[in-house]
């Protein structure tokens, strides 16, 4: 079957604009994660969903960032009033269930550039 998919693959926007990034997890995976990877850094945790609810959003940098997963499958990461510092690759991952024993499978990422 298909792996985790993310759209768009690239997004260029202007400072102050609103963007939405989409993640389609592997079918049947209940846990979904968002990470952000800035240039020269490793992925940094943003938020984790178990089913429809955000179980841990401690990594969201501020209230301009928000994510939803209304039906427990597809997730959307929303960024309001984008800033140049938001430029990064946004990675989505999913796993069958929560817990370290369940491998996280990563998507290809969305490269966001804020001009």
Site residues, another protein (CB under 8 A): 3-4, 31, 33, 35, 40-45, 48, 50, 55-56, 58-59, 91, 98-101, 103-109
Of the pair 31, 67, the CB lying nearest another protein is at 31
**C-alpha span between 99 and 109 (Å, rounded):** 22
Of the pair 41, 80, the CB lying nearest another protein is at 41
Q: In what order do the strands lie in the sheet with 19-24?
A: 5-7, 19-24, 75-79, 65-68
DSSP state of 15: T
Least distance from another protein to the Cβ atom of residue 71, Å? 21
Place of tokens 């993310």: 6
Do 46 and 67 meet the contact criterion of CB atoms below 8 Å apart?
yes
**SS3 label, residue 16:** coil
Of the pair 79, 92, the CB lying nearest another protein is at 92
Residues 6 or more apart whose Cβ sits within 8 Å of residue 109: 6, 9, 37, 89, 90, 91, 92
Least distance from another protein to the Cβ atom of residue 105, Å? 8
Least distance from another protein to the Cβ atom of residue 42, Å? 3
Of the pair 43, 82, the CB lying nearest another protein is at 43
Least distance from another protein to the Cβ atom of residue 44, Å? 7
């Amino acid at each position: 079957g298909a792996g985790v998919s993310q759209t768009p693959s690239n997004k260029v926007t202007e400072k102050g604009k609103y963007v939405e990034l989409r993640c389609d997890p592997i079918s049947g995976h209940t846990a979904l994660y968002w990470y952000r990877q800035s240039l020269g850094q490793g992925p940094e945790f943003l938020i984790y969903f178990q089913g429809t609810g955000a179980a841990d959003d401690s990594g969201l940098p501020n209230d301009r960032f928000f994510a939803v997963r209304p039906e427990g499958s597809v997730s959307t990461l929303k960024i309001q009033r984008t800033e140049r510092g938001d430029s990064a690759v946004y990675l989505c991952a999913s796993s069958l269930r929560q817990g370290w024993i369940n491998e996280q499978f990563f998507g290809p990422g969305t490269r966001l550039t804020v001009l």
